[in-house]
Amino acid sequence: MDAEFHLDVALIHHPVVNRNGEIIGSAVTNLDLHDIARAGKTYGVSTYWVVTPYPLQQELAAGIVGHWTEGYGGRVNSDRAAALAIISICASLEEVVDEMTRRYGRSPKIVATSAGGERCGITYAELRRELVDERIPVLLLFGTAWGLAPAVMELADAVLPPIQGPSAFNHLSVRSAASIILDRLLGCREEADQL
Amino acid sequence: MDAEFHLDVALIHHPVVNRNGEIIGSAVTNLDLHDIARAGKTYGVSTYWVVTPYPLQQELAAGIVGHWTEGYGGRVNSDRAAALAIISICASLEEVVDEMTRRYGRSPKIVATSAGGERCGITYAELRRELVDERIPVLLLFGTAWGLAPAVMELADAVLPPIQGPSAFNHLSVRSAASIILDRLLGCREEADQL
C-alpha cells in the first residue's frame, strides 16, 4: 500500500530561524529522529530526510540511526529498526530534491509547513488528492528551532495551513506538528468514525 | 474558548506494561512533559496530569516543570511557561478522578487510548460531541512504555480506536499519539480545508 503514493518528509536544521528571526543552524535532536520516523512509517512515508550541512551533526544522526537499524537497538526492537530505516541524512534541500527527482522521474511538489500562516494556497484535502489520486510525488518540509528560513519557504510550491486548535496558542513541537499533519493527510479517519 | 469544554489528559507511568506484557512503572521523560503540554495547550486541555507513584520521579517532573514555569526557562520563553503551566503531578489515577470530580461537580468520563484495538465503543466524532455539545468532562488516558495496564483499561468508560495510517505499522510515540488524538477531537480541520 505504501507504493500507492510517494511522500517524503524533510526536517531542516539549516537554514532555520531563531526566536529573533535570525538565520541559524540547529542541532539534531534524538527524539526528532525517533518520533518523526515512527510517524512517517505509520503513514507510509518513503524517506524521512534529516537535513543538516554540519558533518559532525550528520555523524551524530548516522550514529543514532545505525544503533537502531544495524546495532543493538534494532536487534532488541525490530519495530524501531523498521521506523528508523526510513531515515536518510543529507546536507541540503537541493540534494533531497535531486534524489527524489531521480527516484520518481519528476521533480517533487515541495510543500512547506509553518505555524505562521503565511500564504497557504493548498488545503490538506487538496494535497491528499494530489498525493493519492494524482500520484504526484510530494516533499513535505518541516523546520526545527523557530521554523523554516524565508529562503526555504520561497522554494516551496505551496504551504499547508497552520495547525489550529480551539485556543490561540500555536507552539507545537515539530514532532507533534509532523505527526498531526501526516494524520490529516493520510490518517484512516473514516474507519475510526464508523465503528 | 477553553471553558467551552472540560478535557484533561493523564499520562500514566504506572501501572503500564513492558514489551512482554508485564506490569512495570516507567520513568518520566522530559519531552513527554513538553510535547504533550504544548499540544494540550494548543487544543484547550485544562490539566495535563503526569501520574507516577514514585516520589523521586514526582520531584524530577516538578523540577522540570518549575524551571519552565517559575524559573529561568519561563523568563526567556513565556510560551513554554504557558504550556507547562497546565501540568499537575500526582500519584495515581484515583487522585486525578477525585480532583476532576471536585472541580467539575461530576465524575469525568474516562476514555483510554490504545494502539491495540481492544473493545472501542466510541468514535472520535462521538467523543467530540459529548465533550463540546454535551459538556461532559472527559479524562483521556495515555500510557507510557508498551501501554496502559489491563487494570487501567478496565477503569475506562470507553476506548478510542487506535490510530491508523495506510501502513500496518502502529508504533507511534505517545507524544505523537496524544497530539494526533487531540487534533482528531478538537482540531479546526474544516477551516484548514476551506481556505
pLDDT digits (tens, 9 = 90+) for B26-36: 999 999 999 99
Mean pLDDT of A107-126: 89
- For chain A, what percentages of helix, strand and coil (3-state, to nearest 5) are there? 45, 15, 40
Q: How are beta strands B23-24 and B16-17 bridged, if at all?
A: antiparallel
pLDDT band at B4 (very low <50, low <70, confident <90, very high): confident
Counting the structural domains of chain A, the total is: 1
Contacts of B41 in chain A (CB under 8 A): 167, 169, 171
Beta carbons of A38 and B82 less than 8 Å apart = no
Beta carbons of A183 and B161 less than 8 Å apart = no
pLDDT at residue A117 tops 80: no
Beta carbons of A167 and B42 less than 8 Å apart = yes
What percent of chain B lies above the pLDDT cut of 90? 90
CB B135 within 8 A of CB B127: no
A142-182 pLDDT, tens digit per residue, is 999 999 999 999 999 999 999 999 999 999 999 999 999 99
pLDDT at residue B110 tops 80: yes
B135-175 pLDDT, tens digit per residue, is 999 999 999 999 999 999 999 999 999 999 999 999 999 99
Q: Hey, of B45, B46, B167, which one would you mutate to test binding to chain A, going by the most A CBs within 10 A of its CB? A: B167
Range of the domain at A22: 2-193
Beta carbons of B167 and A34 less than 8 Å apart = no
Q: Detail the DSSP E strand segments found in chain B.
A: 7-12, 16-17, 23-24, 48-51, 87-90, 109-112, 138-143, 158-159
Please, what is the average pLDDT of chain B? 94
Q: pLDDT at position B47, please?
A: 98
| Residue in A with minimal Cα distance to B126 | A193
Q: What is the CATH number of the domain that holds A169?
A: 3.40.1280.10
Q: pLDDT at position A131, please?
A: 97
C-alpha to C-alpha distances, B26 to B36, B50, B55, B108, B191, nearest whole angstrom: 17, 12, 13, 25, 39
Beta carbons of A44 and B167 less than 8 Å apart = yes
pTM comes to 0.96
pLDDT band at B182 (very low <50, low <70, confident <90, very high): very high
Rounded Cα distance between B167 and A83, Å, is: 12
B46-65 pLDDT, tens digit per residue, is 999 999 999 999 999 999 99
Q: Which three cell numbers stand for residue A183?
A: 494524520
For residue A44, which phi and psi values (nearest 5 degrees)? 80, 20
Predicted ipTM?
Answer: 0.95
Rounded Cα distance between A38 and A54, Å, is: 24
Rounded Cα distance between A148 and B193, Å, is: 23
Q: Which three cell numbers stand for residue B107?
A: 465524575
CB pairs A-B closer than 8 Å: 176
Beta carbons of B38 and A165 less than 8 Å apart = no
Q: pLDDT at position B190, please?
A: 60
Residue in A34, A161, A173 nearest the CB of B34: A173
Q: Hey, of A2, A68, A171, which one would you mutate to test binding to chain B, going by the most B CBs within 10 A of its CB? A: A171
Three-point CA angle A143, B65, B111, nearest 5°: 80
Rounded Cα distance between B195 and B193, Å, is: 6
CB-CB neighbours of B31 under 10 Å: 17
Which residue bears the cell 530505516?
A85
Helix, coil or strand: residue B173: coil
Cα A1–chain centre separation: 20
Mean pLDDT of B113-139: 91
CB B115 within 8 A of CB B162: yes
CB B67 within 8 A of CB B78: no
Rounded Cα distance between B145 and B143, Å, is: 7
pLDDT at residue A85 tops 90: yes
